[in-house]
């Protein structure tokens, strides 16, 4: 049979397949003595789980814990303040992706900066920044880069293009972060933060688009060293249901492995060309503060020394504050990002804190656990 593009959508959203996996999971789960907590690290998976109402199809024993995999949610206020301060400079056009518009820093969001007259532009693709730079030769164009491994190569490609085409007025503020380090942090720090059985992470659903770039190999350490099974899962509802089924089977059969459900797009090695492009321009930061989680070593990237002349953090060193900023007292984003609290356990959830007036970052991004709960979660 010939594969049609439509099959790649509809086939993985097939209602009958979703139902079939639901009944398979139910049968398999009966063989389990204890419940299992599955952390879906990635906000994309959180979105799928909530949008398609998957928890409604799963037995009581299967519990999802939402992870910190939303690049907007984990951005600490001090970094958002950087974007705000840079945007407010007279001769600057700040360019970033649409997700950043509403995230509040301590001074306000980029939306507020724009209302105050800052030139802030949201692009669909980093590459669109080239045109903005060429059209505004008398301005400094600052690309505020966000995202996980999936998005990093596109920033690298933009840097590559800017250098090769000799574009002199384009600079970068890099906030790219990496997945495995935060997963390790969540496991390592759990004993300190939680002793409750409810919040133990038993298994991971691995972010798959991260693996399209970085390979599935980045998760090998989890079954090997941490004794946590991982299934790298696609983002359609059938993908997620199948991944849950694969995890349950691992528990039933007493296995602890790294498995790939998303074989159609994920390989062990990932995309080597993209990795090379990343390595050409970026290196690990010693430390990066994750909102609500704290400083995690080697969990983010920065421009290599030789590209300092492009690095907005270096160029604007004098005006960018370095002090840490406390998060809002009432907001429990930190616990939510750690997976030790559910959004509806927050005292301001849905009242003071809503997608239209977010207090914390998990409510800002449509991928944030709070936003997903607010939008889809009322019946669950």
Partner 1 sequence: MCLSIPSQVVEINRDEKTAVVDTMGVKRKVGIDFIADEVKVGDYVLIHIGYAMNIIDEEYAKESLALYQEIIKKMENEENQT
Partner 2 sequence: MSRKTVTLAQGNGGEENAELINKIFYRHLKNETLKRNEDAAIIEPFNMQLTSKIAFTTDSFTVSPIFFSGGDIGKLSICGTCNDLAMMGAKPKFLSLSVIVEEGFEIRELEKIVRSMKKELDINGAKIVCGDTKVVPKGSADKIFVNTTGIGEVQKNGLSSSSIKAGDAIIVSRDIGRHGAAIFADREGIELSSSLKSDCASLWPIVEKLIEANIGISAMRDATRGGVAAVLNEWARQSEVCIEIEEASVPIAEEVKGICELLGFEAYNLANEGTFVLAVEEKDIQKALEIIQSFENGKNAAIIGSVTGEYPKKVVLKSEWGTKRFLDLPTGELLPRIC
125 binds partner 1 (CB under 8 A): yes
Task: Tell me which of partner 1, partner 2, none is bound by residue 274, counting a contact when its beta carbon lies within the kind-specific cut-off of 5 to 8 angstroms.
Answer: partner 1
Distances from the Cα of 356 to the Cαs of 7, 284, 289, in angstroms?
36, 35, 26
Residue selected from 41, 44, 93, 274 as contacting partner 2 according to rule CB under 8 A: 44
Residue selected from 24, 88, 123, 320 as contacting partner 2 according to rule CB under 8 A: 123
Residue selected from 36, 54, 210, 274 as contacting partner 2 according to rule CB under 8 A: 54
Pairing type for strands 301-303 and 282-284 reads antiparallel
Complete DSSP assignment for 193-239: H---GGG---EEEEEHHHHHHH-GGGGTHHHHHS---EEEE-SSHHH
Euclidean distance between CA atoms 111 and 241, whole angstroms: 37
- Nearer residue to partner 1 within complex by CB, 119 or 242: 242
142, 319 contact by CB (below 8 A): no
28 binds partner 1 (CB under 8 A): no
Euclidean distance between CA atoms 113 and 119, whole angstroms: 8
Provide, rounded to whole angstroms, the least separation between the CB of residue 133 and partner 2. Answer: 13
Provide, rounded to whole angstroms, the least separation between the CB of residue 337 and partner 2. Answer: 14
- Give me the phi and psi of 106, to 5 degrees please: -85, -20
Which residues does residue 97 pair with via DSSP β-bridges, in sequence order?
123
By CB under 8 A, the residues from 132 to 161 that bind partner 1 are 147-148, 150-151, 153-154, 157, 160
What does the DSSP 8-state code read for residue 76? Answer: -
Q: Which stretch binds partner 1 (CB under 8 A): 187-195, 260-268, 285-293, 369-377?
A: 260-268
164 binds partner 1 (CB under 8 A): no
By CB under 8 A, the residues from 268 to 287 that bind partner 2 are none
Per-residue contact track with partner 1, 60 to 99, x per CB under 8 A? ---------xxx-------------------------x--
Q: How many CB atoms lie within 10 A of CB 335?
A: 18
44 binds partner 1 (CB under 8 A): yes
Closest by CA to 97, choosing from 135, 136, 129, 74, is 129
Closest by CA to 72, choosing from 204, 160, 177, is 177
- Nearer residue to partner 1 within complex by CB, 62 or 97: 97
28 binds partner 2 (CB under 8 A): no
Provide, rounded to whole angstroms, the least separation between the CB of residue 177 and partner 2. Answer: 12
292, 337 contact by CB (below 8 A): yes
Tell me the residue ranges of DSSP E strands in the chain: 36-42, 62-69, 92-97, 119-123, 140-147, 170-176, 203-207, 230-233, 258-260, 282-284, 287-290, 294-297, 301-303
Provide, rounded to whole angstroms, the least separation between the CB of residue 238 and partner 2. Answer: 10
Provide, rounded to whole angstroms, the least separation between the CB of residue 51 and partner 1. Answer: 13
Which residues does residue 380 pair with via DSSP β-bridges, in sequence order?
none
112 binds partner 2 (CB under 8 A): no
Residue selected from 97, 159, 201, 231 as contacting partner 2 according to rule CB under 8 A: 97
6 binds partner 1 (CB under 8 A): yes
Q: Which stretch binds partner 2 (CB under 8 A): 12-20, 164-172, 175-183, 190-198?
A: 12-20
Positions touching partner 1 (CB under 8 A) are 1, 3, 5-9, 11-12, 14, 16-17, 19-21, 23-24, 42-44, 69-71, 97, 124-128, 147-148, 150-151, 153-154, 157, 160, 207, 209-210, 212-213, 235, 238, 242, 263-265, 271, 273-274, 277, 367
């Amino acid at each position: 049979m010939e594969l049609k593009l439509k099959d790649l959508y509809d086939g993985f959203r097939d209602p009958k397949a979703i139902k079939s996996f639901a009944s398979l999971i139910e049968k398999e789960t009966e063989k389990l003595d204890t419940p299992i907590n599955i952390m879906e690290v990635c906000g994309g998976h959180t979105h799928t789980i909530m949008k398609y109402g998957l928890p409604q199809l799963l037995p009581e024993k299967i519990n999802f814990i939402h992870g910190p995999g939303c690049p907007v949610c984990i951005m600490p206020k001090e970094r958002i303040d950087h974007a705000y301060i840079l945007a407010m400079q007279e001769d600057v056009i700040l360019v970033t992706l649409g997700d950043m518009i509403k995230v509040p820093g301590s001074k306000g969001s980029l939306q507020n900066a724009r209302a105050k007259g800052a030139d802030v532009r949201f692009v669909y693709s980093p590459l669109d920044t080239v045109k903005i730079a060429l059209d505004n030769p008398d301005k400094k164009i600052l690309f505020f880069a966000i995202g996980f491994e999936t998005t990093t190569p596109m920033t690298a490609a933009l840097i590559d293009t800017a250098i090769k085409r000799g574009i002199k007025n384009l600079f970068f503020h890099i906030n790219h972060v990496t997945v495995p380090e935060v997963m390790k942090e969540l496991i390592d720090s759990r004993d300190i933060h939680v002793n409750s059985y409810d919040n133990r992470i038993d298994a991971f659903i691995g972010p798959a688009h991260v693996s399209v770039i970085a390979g599935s190999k980045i998760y090998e350490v989890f079954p090997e060293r941490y004794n946590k099974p991982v299934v790298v899962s696609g983002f359609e509802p059938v993908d997620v249901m199948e991944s849950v089924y694969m995890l349950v089977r691992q528990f039933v059969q007493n296995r602890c492995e790294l498995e790939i459900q998303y074989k159609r797009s994920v390989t062990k090695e990932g995309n080597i060309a993209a990795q090379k492009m990343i390595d050409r321009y970026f290196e690990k930061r010693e430390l990066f503060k994750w909102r609500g989680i704290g400083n995690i070593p080697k969990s983010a990237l920065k421009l290599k020394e030789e590209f300092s002349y492009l690095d907005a953090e270096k160029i604007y060193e004098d005006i960018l504050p370095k002090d840490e900023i406390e998060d809002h007292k009432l907001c429990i984003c930190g616990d939510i990002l750690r997976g030790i609290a559910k959004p509806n356990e927050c005292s301001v959830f849905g009242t003071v804190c809503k997608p239209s007036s977010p207090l914390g970052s998990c409510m800002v991004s449509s991928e944030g656990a709070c936003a997903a709960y607010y939008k889809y979660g009322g019946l669950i």
